[in-house]
Every structure is written in structure tokens, then in C-alpha cells.
Chain A
Amino acid sequence: MLFNSALFLLLFFPVVTLLYYLVPQPARWRVLLVASCYFYAVGIPAYLLVLAAVIVIDFTAGILIEQSTGTKRKAILAASLASNLLLLGVFKYADFLSGNLTALAALIGWNYSLATLGWLLPIGLSFHTFQSMAYTIEVYRGAQRAERHFGYFALYVLFYPQLVAGPIERPQHLLPQLHRPPLLSARGLRGGLAGLAEPCIMSGLQLMLLGLFKKLVIADRLALAVDPIYSDPHLYPGAALLIATGFFAIQIYCDFSGYTHIARGAAMTMGVDLAHNFKATYGARSIGDFWRRWHISLSSWFRDYVYVPLGGNRVSAAKWARNVLITFFLSGLWHGASWTFIAWGVLHGCYLIAGRATSGIRASIVTALRLQTMPRLHGAMQSLIVLALVTFAWIFFRAESLADAWFIVTSIPAAGAQVLGLLRGAPEGVMVRLGLAGLPIAKHEWALMFVLAIGVVAFDQRRWHAPFVFELALRPAWVRVSAAYALIFSVLFLGVYRTATFIYFQF
């Protein structure tokens, strides 16, 4: 089920939230579990069986790990992780692997073809297997007690707000909240209809509204330009490709952070506080900083369960570079069974390695230009450079093939001349000169897109204290009400209504 669908907004969410408050606390997990199964079944019901397999395996593994010691404990963990990875491998990577083996065989002259499975990837499989694996690893490390209640463990994997695209929760954070929502228990666990007046409901609804704004007004609007250009990049000049790439950087950010706001908001209405996934991402001052602000729950997963066990940064420079490349290779692969995602991940790894290798030179430049005396200017320059590097990497993420990505990369340098050429042209020829005239988008809509895209980047430059909604909560009532109306009217009048799925649902 999509968060931006009528089914979710008009039926599922209001009914489930109302039921949640109407039933007594001990039975609420049942309401949520049934609702979560329905939420998932709206896609392909049969794939609930895949989730059931993950749940049964890791629930059993958790208890067995806790009861075991020594090598047996390690063996159970390995078996649990292997089962999860096998499921992921079969559904997500089998066809990619067989396609590559077939291509490799052809390259060396073998007439060898492997059959492809052609199975649809269960929505969000990468998210819930990673969340489930985090549970068994934490139990193995002794940081989490094994959950003995099958219903609560099933809910930990299936909890509908974060089921299909995260945030990837840690058991220590989510499981206790499912037993006893802290935002409600702090107020004495009010139940019944009176519970609906809880402030967490209002905060949750505000977060959801902000998420819908980011998705419907910004991300889906920018997609109107990005999708046709990236589906046939060869038809467009460099300037159009540059604009589409810039727009995609904003689109994916608003799409994913919009999803996360709705997920966190929906959970918050039930008193559950999900993990933060974004912190003013495009205000990042370095690539490392970017990864502390972008998809935080995934990057911290890779940090804790891949990068640190490999040795992290407490090793030689060469081994550190190896650890970074392995981690980012796997991060790219996690996003999708395609070389474009792998290239995207490895490129980010290279950025980090290059950043460390050039830290001395960059420090000398800062000193020579006396930028340390102008911290705002220095920060803005750093942010712009990070934005440019990250946006460049998005080309590989969004392109439909490596060949398309390479075409775009090699076409963009010509954009400068095309944009400069505008200065000599008549204003009515702008869209034609940029190669954008063929898209069914009116001029005022283009203007709106540019305003929204620049607005998102500018907004992220503010100093991040807390999520926007919490910052807003400290303002006077008239500011809060005005902001709510502004968001509602924007969603209603400027939203793009076409039931577009969220980009991260495909992972």
C-alpha cells in the first residue's frame, strides 16, 4: 500500500488509528499486526509468506542464540544470517547473477545460458531482512534480550509504518516501544477516544502532512521532468540532462524523506518514535557528513555490521580504503541488482578515500584563502561542493544502464555553452534552447519546479537542531496554524496526483 494512496489516507490510516485507541493496550499489538499484514498484502498477498519465513527463522534463532554458548551460538547466528541472505539473494540477485554469468560466458566464447527466475521482488525485502538481521546480531552480541512473544516479534518485522522502506530499526529501539509506547506511557497510557486528543497525534499528523508535501508537491512534480528525460537521455541536449540530474537530486531526497516523515508520523500517532533517517541532508559539509545525514538507519547498519567488523578506521590507510570500498560496494548492491547502483556506491567510497587523501591540500587552500575567518562562506562553499559531488553520483543511481549514465556524464559538459547561449537568445526560446520544449510542462510549472528545488537546498542550510515539526512546535500558535494551512493548500493545489510509488519501495 502506498502512503500517498487514497486507500491509505482515507481508509486504512484513520480506521487503524481509531481502532488502536479503542482497544485496550494489551490487545493493541493484535490490531497492528493484522493491519500490517493487510498493508503488505495489498501488493502481492503471497509474499506475506516470505515475511513469515523471515519472522519464524529469526524469532527461533534469537531464542536459540540466547540459550547457547560458544561455537553453537555462532553457528546459529550464521545459519540465521545465511537464511536471510539466501532469501534476499534468490529474490533480488539471482537473475542479476545469472545474467552476468551468461554475459561472461559469452565473452570468453562459451555458449552457456542460465535460466532466469523472473520473480518480482517482494516490496521492501531489503529493509525487513536487514531489520531482522539486526535483531539476531544484537541478541548474539548480548545487547538485546531474545523476544519471547511471537506476536511482538512479528510486529517488530511487520510494523506497517516502516515495513516497506524503513527506517531500518534496531531491536533495542523499537521492540520496547511496541510493548509500551513511550509517548503514551509518559502520559499514563490514556486509552479510548480520549487518547485521540494526545499531542503525539497532532505531531504525527503534522509530520505526515510535511511528508505528503515533500512527496506530492516536490518529488512527484520534479519527476514530471526527470522521468521522460532519463528514460530517453539520447534525445536531450546536455543542458536538459543537467537540469534533470539536479532535479533528481532533489526528487529522491524529497521522495525518500517524505516517505520517512509519513512513516514516522503514522507511528507517532500511535505513540511510537521511529528512528530519524535524514538530518538536513544537503547542508552536509563533507561526503562523510552527507552519510551521517542521508538514510541514517541504513548507513549506521553498514557502519555497525560491516565497516566496524572489517576494522573500520583503526587500521592502516590501505586497509581503511579497502574497508570503505567494500562497505560502499555492498551499500550500492543493497540498493539494487544492477551495475548502476554498484557504480553509485563505489563512487561514494572513492569520494571518501579522495577526501582523506586531499585533506592536507584542502586545509592549505582554506588557510591561503583565509576561509576559516569566514565560516558562513566556507560552509556554503563546502555544501555546494558536496551537493555537486552527490548530484554527479546520482546520475549512476538514476540512469537505466551504465551506457546511459556514461552518455549523460559525457553530454553534461556541453550544458555550459548551451546555458551561456541563452544570454544571446530571445526569452521565448529558452525552453527550446534548453531542449525542454517537448515536455508537456507549462512555463509556470517549470518556474515552480526551480523555486521548489532551490528552496529545498536553501532550507537545508539552516543549522539543524531538531526535526522541522518539533522546531515548529515551539513557535506561537498562529505560526503553527499558518504553516499547517500552507502545507495543506500546497498539497491540495500543487500536488501531483498520479499514484506514483516511492523510489525506495523498489529496494
Chain B
Amino acid sequence: MKVLFRVLLFVAPIVAVAWLVERTARPLWPEAVGPGMVERIDRSFADASAGGYDVLVVGNSRVYRGVNPDLLGARAYNFAQDDDAFNQVYYKLKYLDERGVRFHTIVMGVDYFEFSFLSDRRNVAYSKYLGDEYLRDFASPDVSRAAHILNTVLHPIDEQAFNNTMIRQFTRPASLLLERAVTVMQASPPRPPIRAVLKPNGQYILDAGPQRVDPIRRDATRLPIQEQYFKRILQWAAERKVSVVMVMPPLRKMELDAYPPGIVDAFDDWLERAAADHGAAYVNFARDPGFTDQDFADVTHLTEAAADRWSRMLGDTLRSRTTR
């Protein structure tokens, strides 16, 4: 009993300080990171399901952050998400279709590396929307029941969830407070905070600042499963007479250089052929001279101002297709 009391006495200040740090940092949290991933996905599904738009924007983080639907010249909603690839896009379209949401155009971001991975990082949020059929792609093939039980016994704790909890409860609040303390000690005007906003139109803004060095690695492998979903999306749209505009976002030169020689041109040819085969359009902004390194918030994503500029260009593209 005495030992237990001493343990509790020792732990109490730790709990108190952790609570205090978290409470103090809480006001700084939204301006630095915006809403959390699950909240963003929940809001995104709720808003997309409400309908009332003619153009749906889908794709990965480049589109999620890079397309401002308000500037497309049509009623539009940005339903993209970080790390989305074609499997997620397909099931999202299916999800909306099953709920009777209709639109006449899909603006689909395509990326040279978007075919190269099958990301499960957001499945904790996606699983409740996209169902078992979506999750089946992530099940390990040919896993026997015994192997499954063994795996459960050997890995009973979700390490990723534990790490996320530690980050959310301890390290992120402490980092925010430390950064604020450094700013105060420097007696200089506070640095404009990183703006992190989820707009009502679905676009996510996370502005940092232009970076000069670009330690980037890109893989242009086309996984069969992603090719399959890519074609299913085009077929799905063709069957419903929904036009598809595939867009390659503006890229930094260093990113283009990170691909093996010739792969980008071959990829463009392949995308153009796929678009032609399914009555879609492919618009390539990868080498658009209107965008420089200063237009990027980090190694990959456009700044808010550059995103607005690109969105207007996309709007022009959409209008020219409509009037043609």
C-alpha cells in the first residue's frame, strides 16, 4: 500500500504538467495544424454528400491543397485528400453515387507517382465510409487463420496509434509552446503562423514557406491495382456521361528531375492515350512556366496564392471544354 501511494505521489506531477502543457498549447493548435485528419475527412464526406455542385475535384494532396473550387467558374467541391490514389478516388465516387449525388464533371488530379502506392494511412477514417470492398485491397493475401492469430498475439498493440497519441498529447503541444517561447525571447515580431485551414469548399490550405533544397525521391512505377482503379474510374464516368478532366499539377523542376530520364514523357503519352480511349481530357501543367519554386509551400504543394492562380487556369480549361 505504501509503495502504491509513493508511486501515485510520483506520477501526480507528471499528469499535472502534461495536462497544463496540453491546455496551454491548445489555443495555438488550430492555427498551426488546422483540424486533424479524421475531422477533415469527416467534414469532407459530409459536405460532398450534401451535393449541390457540378464539378467534383478528386486526387491527392496536390489537388487537395492546390485547387480552389471557388475559382473554377462553376459550382465545385474539392473532395481530394492527402495520400489519395485511384483506389480511394474510385470508392469515393461510388460512395457519392450510392447516395444519389450527381455532378457533370470530375477534375481528377493525376501524378506520376500516384500509381506507385496503396496507402492505408487514412483507413482509420475511410473505413467507416468506403466499406469492406475498399478494405479488401489491404488484406494480406493468403493469410491463414493460424498466421492471423499469431500476428495478433505478436503485435497486440497498434504502435502507430500509440505514437500518434504521444505526438498529439505531448510532443506537438510542447513544440508549439517552445516555438512561441523562442519568438517571445527574441523580442521580435512573431513570425506569421503557419496557416492551416480547411475551407468550406473542401480545399485545404497549409502554407509554410518556399524551400530551396529539395531532397525528393519519386517512384513512377504503375501498380496493376492502381491502373485497374484508374480505368474503372474512367469507365464509371463514361457510363454515367460524366466528363473527366485529368490534370497534372505544376511541379518543381527538381521534382521532375528526380524521375529517371524519359519516364515522364512516356507517362504523359500513356495518360494521353488512356484519356483518348475513354473520352476524357488530359491537361498537363507539370512544366508550366508560370510557376517557379517560389510558388511552392514545401517540396510538393503550391502556396495558397499559386493555388488560386492555378485554379483560375483550370477554370479556363473547363470553360473552353464546355464551349467547344
Contact between A7 and B171, CB atoms less than 8 A apart: no
Q: Which residues of the other chain, A, contact B213 by a CB distance below 8 angstroms?
A: 235-236, 240, 435-439
Q: Which of B79-87, B172-180, B272-280 contacts A (4 or more CB under 8 A)?
A: B172-180
Q: Is B239 located at the chain interface by the 8 A CB criterion?
A: no
B260 vs chain A, min Cβ distance (A): 15
Q: Is B162 located at the chain interface by the 8 A CB criterion?
A: yes
Contact between A437 and B182, CB atoms less than 8 A apart: no
Partner of A496 from the list B162, B171, B298 (CB cut-off 8 Å) is: B171
Contact between B178 and A489, CB atoms less than 8 A apart: no
Partner of B212 from the list A7, A197, A432 (CB cut-off 8 Å) is: A432
Contact between A447 and B182, CB atoms less than 8 A apart: yes
B293 vs chain A, min Cβ distance (A): 10
Output the nearest chain A residue to B177 by Cβ-Cβ distance. Answer: A493
Q: Is B155 located at the chain interface by the 8 A CB criterion?
A: yes
Known: A42-B155, A236-B213, A443-B182. A6 touches B162 (CB 8 A): yes
Known: A489-B14, A493-B21. A437 touches B212 (CB 8 A): yes
Q: Is B143 located at the chain interface by the 8 A CB criterion?
A: no
B147 vs chain A, min Cβ distance (A): 10
Q: Is A41 located at the chain interface by the 8 A CB criterion?
A: yes
Instruction: Give the number of residues in A that approach B within 8 Å (Cβ atoms).
Output: 44
Output the nearest chain B residue to A10 by Cβ-Cβ distance. Answer: B157
Partner of B157 from the list A11, A228, A493, A498 (CB cut-off 8 Å) is: A11
Q: Which residues of the other chain, B, contact A437 by a CB distance below 8 angstroms?
A: 211-213
Known: A444-B182, A494-B174, A495-B171. A438 touches B211 (CB 8 A): yes
Q: Is A232 located at the chain interface by the 8 A CB criterion?
A: yes
Contact between B212 and A232, CB atoms less than 8 A apart: no
Partner of A438 from the list B175, B179, B182, B214 (CB cut-off 8 Å) is: B214
Within 8 A of B (CB), among A196-254: 196-197, 228-229, 231-232, 235-236, 240
Q: Which residues of the other chain, B, contact A231 by a CB distance below 8 angstroms?
A: 215, 217
Q: Which residues of the other chain, B, contact A176 by a CB distance below 8 angstroms?
A: none
Q: Which residues of the other chain, B, contact A494 by a CB distance below 8 angstroms?
A: 171, 174
Contact between B159 and A5, CB atoms less than 8 A apart: yes
Q: In the complex, what distance in Å separates the CA atom of A235 from the CA atom of B163? A: 30
Partner of B13 from the list A45, A228, A436, A485 (CB cut-off 8 Å) is: A485
Output the nearest chain A residue to B214 by Cβ-Cβ distance. Answer: A438
Q: Is B17 located at the chain interface by the 8 A CB criterion?
A: yes
A113 vs chain B, min Cβ distance (A): 23
Q: In the complex, what distance in Å separates the CA atom of A45 from the CA atom of B147? A: 11
Q: In the complex, what distance in Å separates the CA atom of A496 from the CA atom of B167? A: 8
Q: Which residues of the other chain, B, contact A197 by a CB distance below 8 angstroms?
A: 3
Q: Which residues of the other chain, A, contact B155 by a CB distance below 8 angstroms?
A: 7, 42
Q: In the complex, what distance in Å separates the CA atom of A489 from the CA atom of B173? A: 13
Within 8 A of B (CB), among A68-107: none
The B interface, classified by DSSP as helix, strand, loop or mixed, is helix
Partner of B217 from the list A232, A484, A488 (CB cut-off 8 Å) is: A232
Partner of B167 from the list A438, A447, A497 (CB cut-off 8 Å) is: A497
Q: In the complex, what distance in Å separates the CA atom of A488 from the CA atom of B18? A: 11
Per-residue B-contact encoding for A395-421, CB less than 8 Å = 1, 0 else: 000000000000000000000000000
A443 vs chain B, min Cβ distance (A): 7
Q: Is A492 located at the chain interface by the 8 A CB criterion?
A: yes
Q: In the complex, what distance in Å separates the CA atom of A211 from the CA atom of B211? A: 35
Q: In the complex, what distance in Å separates the CA atom of A10 from the CA atom of B132? A: 31
Q: In the complex, what distance in Å separates the CA atom of A435 from the CA atom of B213? A: 7
Output the nearest chain B residue to A432 by Cβ-Cβ distance. Answer: B212
Q: In the complex, what distance in Å separates the CA atom of A5 from the CA atom of B158? A: 10
Instruction: Give the number of residues in B that approach A within 8 Å (Cβ atoms).
Output: 35
Q: Is A359 located at the chain interface by the 8 A CB criterion?
A: no
Q: Is A445 located at the chain interface by the 8 A CB criterion?
A: yes
Q: Which residues of the other chain, B, contact A447 by a CB distance below 8 angstroms?
A: 182
Q: Which residues of the other chain, A, contact B160 by a CB distance below 8 angstroms?
A: 499
Q: In the complex, what distance in Å separates the CA atom of A439 from the CA atom of B21? A: 27
Q: In the complex, what distance in Å separates the CA atom of A19 from the CA atom of B10? A: 24
Contact between B156 and A11, CB atoms less than 8 A apart: yes
Q: In the complex, what distance in Å separates the CA atom of A336 from the CA atom of B178? A: 40
Contact between A228 and B156, CB atoms less than 8 A apart: no
Q: Which residues of the other chain, B, contact A5 by a CB distance below 8 angstroms?
A: 157, 159, 162
Q: Which residues of the other chain, B, contact A497 by a CB distance below 8 angstroms?
A: 162-164, 166-167, 171
Output the nearest chain A residue to B3 by Cβ-Cβ distance. Answer: A197
Known: A496-B171, A497-B167, A499-B159. A42 touches B215 (CB 8 A): no
Q: Is A440 located at the chain interface by the 8 A CB criterion?
A: yes
A237 vs chain B, min Cβ distance (A): 9
Output the nearest chain A residue to B173 by Cβ-Cβ distance. Answer: A493
Contact between B179 and A6, CB atoms less than 8 A apart: no
Q: Is A369 located at the chain interface by the 8 A CB criterion?
A: no
B192 vs chain A, min Cβ distance (A): 13
Per-residue A-contact encoding for B249-285, CB less than 8 Å = 1, 0 else: 0000000000000000000000000000000000000
Q: In the complex, what distance in Å separates the CA atom of A439 from the CA atom of B298? A: 9
B225 vs chain A, min Cβ distance (A): 24
Known: A228-B215, A235-B213, A438-B215. A485 touches B14 (CB 8 A): yes
Q: Is A115 located at the chain interface by the 8 A CB criterion?
A: no
Contact between B212 and A438, CB atoms less than 8 A apart: yes
Contact between B182 and A488, CB atoms less than 8 A apart: no
A10 vs chain B, min Cβ distance (A): 7
Q: In the complex, what distance in Å separates the CA atom of A228 from the CA atom of B216? A: 9
Q: Is A477 located at the chain interface by the 8 A CB criterion?
A: no
Q: Is B8 located at the chain interface by the 8 A CB criterion?
A: no
Partner of A444 from the list B159, B173, B178, B299 (CB cut-off 8 Å) is: B178
A87 vs chain B, min Cβ distance (A): 23
B1 vs chain A, min Cβ distance (A): 11
Q: Which residues of the other chain, A, contact B217 by a CB distance below 8 angstroms?
A: 231-232
Q: Which residues of the other chain, A, contact B212 by a CB distance below 8 angstroms?
A: 432, 435, 437-438
Q: Which residues of the other chain, A, contact B182 by a CB distance below 8 angstroms?
A: 443-444, 447
The 5 closest A-B pairs by CB, nearest first: A438-B213, A493-B174, A6-B162, A497-B163, A497-B166
